[in-house]
Amino acid sequence: MDVTSATAASTKIENSKATLAGDFETFLTLLTTQLQQQDPLSPMDAEKFTAQLVQFSSVEQAIETNSRLRDLASMMSMSQIGDALGFVGRNVEFEGDVLTLTGDGGATIGLDLPARAASSRIDIVNSDGVVVRSIDAPTEAGVHRLTWDGLRTDGSRASPGTYTLRGKAEDAEGEPMDVVTRSTGRVGGVESDGRTAQLIVDGRAVPLSTVRAVADGQQPTTSPSS
């Protein structure tokens, strides 16, 4: 949890506690005055102020619960950041459809098939929506890692930058299958949105929960075909 979010949450809870304390003191003062001035022959209805006391107690418990939840969320966020720091400087594989091609050549990408397919491939699309390369993938169920050498279909080198991965697969009946693409990149840092830790991979935020493997030194299992 970032400092600003934590400070705001803490201030809100403390203000709620202060308001509740002030209201409760006012209630007790009024209640005491009413009890002192009540007609002995027509005493106050005990159920009314008992219900009010119960209501104050419930609000107090709710504020205390929120305070404990805030502390727990902060601890969990810091724990996630601690875990995420171990990825800094390493190459990771994560679920996603965005790929960053650097100036030094190719990239490792992946396709996760839920079941055996009749055909499968990954289309690599540039910012103009043009498919610059299609890479055939194995058809067995599971995760398949492929290498894109950074070349377009015509053999020319693609420009460094951001590309979109579109996984496509069909079953034996020719029906489209749901597939998940994977990308890789080097972790340059860690940040938190106040709830979860995120890795900074090639300049963009990647949720820690989407990381599936550390790709250091990992060789692709399949060679590409255009």
**161-170 sheet: strands from edge to edge:** 98-101, 161-170, 119-125, 131-136
The mean per-residue pLDDT over the stretch 67-72 comes to: 54
Residue 222 has a pLDDT of: 39
pLDDT bucket at 219, cuts 50 / 70 / 90 = very low
CA distance linking residue 123 with residue 163, whole number of Å = 10
Mean pLDDT score of the chain, rounded to an integer?
78
**8 A C-beta contact, residue 154 and residue 54:** no
pLDDT, tens digit (0-9, with 9 covering 90-100), for 111-127: 999 999 999 999 999 99
Q: Is the pLDDT of residue 107 over 80?
A: yes
Q: Write the burial class of residue 97 (CB in 10 Å: 0-12 exposed, 13-18 middle, 19+ buried).
A: middle
